[in-house]
Amino acid sequence: MPTETTGFTATSAASLVDALETVERNPRRLGRAAVRKRSKALTYLGLVIASCVAVFPLLFMVFSSFKDDQQIFADLGSLKAFLPTGHLSLDNYSGVFERVPAVRFITNSLIVTVTIVLLGLIVNSMIGFAISRMRWKGKNIVLSLVLATLMVPFETIAVPLVYWVAKLPSLQWVVDGFLVKQGMLNTYQVQILPFVANALSIFLFAQHFGEIPKEIDEAARVDGASWWTIYLRIIVPLSGPTFATVAIITMLPAWNSYLWPLMVIQEESMRPASVGMQYFFQLNPVWGQIMAYGTLITLPVLIIFALFQRSFVASLAGTAVKG
């Protein structure tokens, strides 16, 4: 008579025996797999905690910008502070534009930041190209001096720099053309020119350009290409992630600059967005408006980073592998 099928055949038994023998032969391999899984779990846990630490303040700022001060303080003791709960409105945002010329401040920051980034990419990449690709005496000394400036805090040279920019000539646009006057105070130039050349940007460009095979330059020179052609047609197209990285690390301090504009800008019409924050702490601060203004000046940074994050991460990963 045929026996009833139980789902456990001789083949299954043999497979089970083989698996048990494998475990007995390779206990170390299973131990290593468990360690790898535990390490991966701890890594993801750490990333989640770090993300929460970074994101929660932003969530608090954004959602608090839609609440009144009473609601903000009432929610501080619970998770409601990080959630869009309660009565939400745009009153804080309308109050921002009534209290300060926010559009003018943000426009000034955009002009200064974009100009610093564009000029910085051009100037610093050309310096990095000259140091890493061209042959000339003393380039290592020049690079060492450039890197030495990273050790000098900006606060130590701020006061002498104010003295010099007050003496240097500046261009001012008038109806008939440009007018040269003494002193750069209260101009866009004083907010831009001191920060175009950047030691860290020069180092990053020189480091990346130096990793590109120099045989490319020799072949291009044999074909009659100039150094300018090599820079524009060969090196720049191969360095997109590095340009994106330098753009981001140049944009952040330029957009958040506070001390320098506070020292050299006295006219309200020329002040950047970061200096405009001090207006909200005069007399009685309205915390909802402070959060709304903080959200307005933070959004451009987040948008730019979101657009260039892939290039930024790719450049950092490439630098880590090469280093």
Dump pLDDT digits (tens) for 240-293.
888 988 988 899 899 999 999 999 998 888 999 999 998 888 878 889 999 999
> So what's the pLDDT on residue 315?
59
> So what's the pLDDT on residue 24?
55
Q: Please compute the mean of the pLDDT values over residues 166-178 and round it to a whole number.
A: 71
Nearest CA to 247 out of 301, 293, 192, 207 is that of 301
> So what's the pLDDT on residue 138?
83
Asked if the model's pLDDT at residue 55 lies above 90, the reply is no
Instruction: Note the pTM of the prediction, 2 decimals.
Output: 0.79
Detail the DSSP E strand segments found in 80-176: 169-174
The larger pLDDT score, comparing residue 303 to residue 103, is at 103
Q: How many CB atoms lie within 10 A of CB 111?
A: 14
> So what's the pLDDT on residue 1?
44
Q: Say what percent of the chain tops pLDDT 70.
A: 84
Tokens at 31, concatenated: 């131990």
Asked if the model's pLDDT at residue 23 lies above 70, the reply is no
Asked if the model's pLDDT at residue 26 lies above 50, the reply is yes
The larger pLDDT score, comparing residue 182 to residue 98, is at 98
Asked if the model's pLDDT at residue 123 lies above 80, the reply is yes
Q: What is the mean pLDDT of the chain?
A: 83
- The secondary structure of 113-133 as a DSSP string is HHHHHHHHHHHHHHHHHHHHH
Q: How many CB atoms lie within 10 A of CB 116?
A: 23
